[in-house]
Chains A and B, each alone.
Chain A
Amino acid sequence: MRAQPQNQLPKKAVTVWRLYGFFQTMILALLAAGAVFLTIKFSWPVWIQWLMIVIVVLSIICSIIIFPNIRWKIWRYEVREQEIEIQSGLFIVTRTLIPMVRVQHVDTEQGPILKKYNLANISISSAATVHTIPMLELEYADMLRMKISELARVAEDDV
């Protein structure tokens, strides 16, 4: 059995994911409200209303209450000298290995919500793909970005 990557995301990430879930649910609720309104206005079958309500309730339970915790438990990463390993997912656990030689560039980015919590995302680009480690403490994210880009520069294509 391969050991899991060592580092976990800060506990704050759960809060941020809940917030994202909340916004998602709001959008969904708005759409549902629109649908319910149309149903009443044009007297469509009643089950549409119930379906909408069930969807919104499910969204509240899943994307606000349950999923953030599961995500946090699964999310792990590790930056080693030769490669970066990221474990992510919800139902599907994905483990990604990016050798340092393949790293093209590293970015950190911070949206308004992340800024409020003093967090930042790191995205690591290879020639073909982009991989993100989300919601790290800002100072730590900057440090990690420097570290990765340094390691990436040192790593040599030995093959």
Chain B
Amino acid sequence: MSNEKFKLHPAAVLINVVKALKDLLVPIAIIIVANGFNFNFDYRSKDFFGEMVPLMILSVVLLWTIINGGIKWWTFVYWFEDSELRVEYGLFVKKKRYIPFERIQNLNYKEGIFHRIFKLVEVQIETAGSKNGKPEAELTAVTRAAADEIEIRMKYAKNQQAIIEENEQPIIEKVPSTVVHKMQIPELLLLATTSSGMGVVLAGVFAAVSQFAEFIPFDAIYDEVAFLMKYSFIAVAIIIALVLLLTWIISVGFTCLNYYNFTVSKEQERLIITRGLIEKKRVTIPLNRVQAIKIVENPFQQLLGLASVAVESAGGGFSGEANKKIILLPLIAKKELLTPLEELFPDYDFSLSSHVKPPKKALPFFYRIDFIWFVPLVGLISYFFYPYGLLSLLLIVPIILLGRWQFKTTGYTLYENQITIVSRVISRVTFFAVKKRIQVTQGRQTYFQKRRDIGSAKIVVMSGMTGASAIVRHIDQQEVETILCWYEK
């Protein structure tokens, strides 16, 4: 059995093609739309060839995609040798990649709809070197058994057990995994309601409507609405409610597709997140690669005492999701937050008892910066839309209120080897980082801050290419220096 070469499941061709077509969707749509759907199939007409060009380009592209998908499957082999996973593919240009088992950080699984039909999985192999969220190697479609085989081999190599004997079946006991958190249906509904998903759907609806604007008889509708308005506001209110209901249902639909059966479990020192209804995804993160933890509450959620939790991880995540932020708990009541977090990250302190705040004199700084864009904007609006444009001056009220809110939220706490930073732009973000994970600490002070003896401090942890950072703004300069000294120790 050694050195036996394995091929992917033939369904990989289909999946490859569908994947490639997904990427080509935009250019294809452009070709079709630019042509105005006017394909001319009358070969006697004299513009026949001229009008066929886009269609020909389209079919060449399609053909190429299909052949490419086929070739990739045809030439793709993987096998195990010298405790390495070896992958080879390519027709003219042979690509080979050998990955030592002990370098493999984790295997992520993904099941799309076609995988489901053929009972397959996509395996993404990640090493510490995989940057940009791109996996080191990708087995597009293999059977469950084959995927398990890789995992078993990997575990063997990692445990540095002797070479697997020829005919000996590797026996590995299933490591018990404990479920840390599982999302329930009510939480799913709440998530769909309170997250920004609704806004996205609304924007989408408007975009779609504006696309078909020319087909909608606005005049007729306007008359209709005017008629309705005359009779009852209730009717209008009902229509608005219906639209909102519709977006809510769509939003719930999307959320369910993505987060259905969201489960976080812990297996040894690894964190496993599974989710998805049609496309099932399973991601594994070694706990020691978690760089920082973020609790995010948008204003709605804060009002209802809810929060979501994300982790910043060095490497990991699903391919194609460029940022390394991984949603750990999409939505949870703040009261229940501590249990799963403390179980997963015992070395963090999630309490927020003593909290260093910015001084009173720093308050104006939270909204002063906004006047840089505010003054010219109001100036322009007032100039062009005089006298009504002057109403834009009223914007000053929400800006100042938001600034006050940010001021009230901001704060930080230092522990012996952890820092907790709370800040807000709109959503309140609580950022937990341990000292040994912080890459760089910065203190900064603008000219104006210097005059009031305040400053800001920024920490950066590793995450993706540019890192993730948290800033405490406008605290006493003394405090900034405390943070720098704490970090230096």
Q: Find the A residue at minimum CB distance from B466.
A: A128
| B484→A97 contact, CB < 8 A | yes
In the assembled complex, the Cα of A55 lies from the Cα of B461 at a distance in Å of 39
Please tell me which one of the listed residues A91, A96, A102 contacts residue B442 in the complex, with CB atoms under 8 A apart: A96
Please tell me which one of the listed residues B436, B467, B468, B488 contacts residue A97 in the complex, with CB atoms under 8 A apart: B488
Q: Which residues of A contact B279 (CB under 8 A)?
A: none
In the assembled complex, the Cα of A102 lies from the Cα of B485 at a distance in Å of 17
Majority-rule SS of B interface residues: mixed
In the assembled complex, the Cα of A94 lies from the Cα of B469 at a distance in Å of 15
| B436→A2 contact, CB < 8 A | no
Please tell me which one of the listed residues B436, B450, B465, B485 contacts residue A157 in the complex, with CB atoms under 8 A apart: B436
Q: Which residues of B contact A96 (CB under 8 A)?
A: 440-442
Please tell me which one of the listed residues B436, B444, B450, B462 contacts residue A95 in the complex, with CB atoms under 8 A apart: B444
Segment 84-108 of A: residues with Cβ below 8 Å from B: 89, 91-99, 102
In the assembled complex, the Cα of A126 lies from the Cα of B460 at a distance in Å of 10
A131 proximal to B (CB < 8 A):
yes
Q: Which residues of A contact B445 (CB under 8 A)?
A: 92-93
> Number of B residues contacting the other chain (C-beta, 8 Å)?
27
Q: Find the B residue at minimum CB distance from A98.
A: B440
Q: Which residues of B contact A89 (CB under 8 A)?
A: 444
B106 proximal to A (CB < 8 A):
no
A142 proximal to B (CB < 8 A):
no
A129 proximal to B (CB < 8 A):
yes
Segment 455-489 of B: residues with Cβ below 8 Å from A: 460-463, 465-468, 481, 484-485, 487-488
Q: Which residues of B contact A83 (CB under 8 A)?
A: 488
| A127→B450 contact, CB < 8 A | no
In the assembled complex, the Cα of A81 lies from the Cα of B435 at a distance in Å of 18
Please tell me which one of the listed residues A95, A98, A102, A126 contacts residue B443 in the complex, with CB atoms under 8 A apart: A95
Q: Find the B residue at minimum CB distance from A159.
A: B436
CB contact under 8 A between A92 and B462, given known A98-B440, A127-B314: no
| A129→B466 contact, CB < 8 A | yes
| B439→A127 contact, CB < 8 A | yes
Q: Find the A residue at minimum CB distance from B446.
A: A92
| B484→A95 contact, CB < 8 A | yes
| B417→A159 contact, CB < 8 A | yes
In the assembled complex, the Cα of A102 lies from the Cα of B484 at a distance in Å of 15
Q: Find the A residue at minimum CB distance from B457.
A: A95
- Which of B's residues lie within 8 Å of A, judged by CB? 314, 417, 435-436, 439-447, 450, 460-463, 465-468, 481, 484-485, 487-488
If A128-B462, A159-B435 are given as contacts, then 4 extra A-B residue pairs at C-beta distance below 8 Å, sorted by A number, are A98-B439, A99-B488, A127-B439, A128-B460
The 7 closest A-B CB pairs, nearest first, are: A128-B467, A159-B436, A127-B462, A128-B462, A95-B443, A94-B444, A126-B439
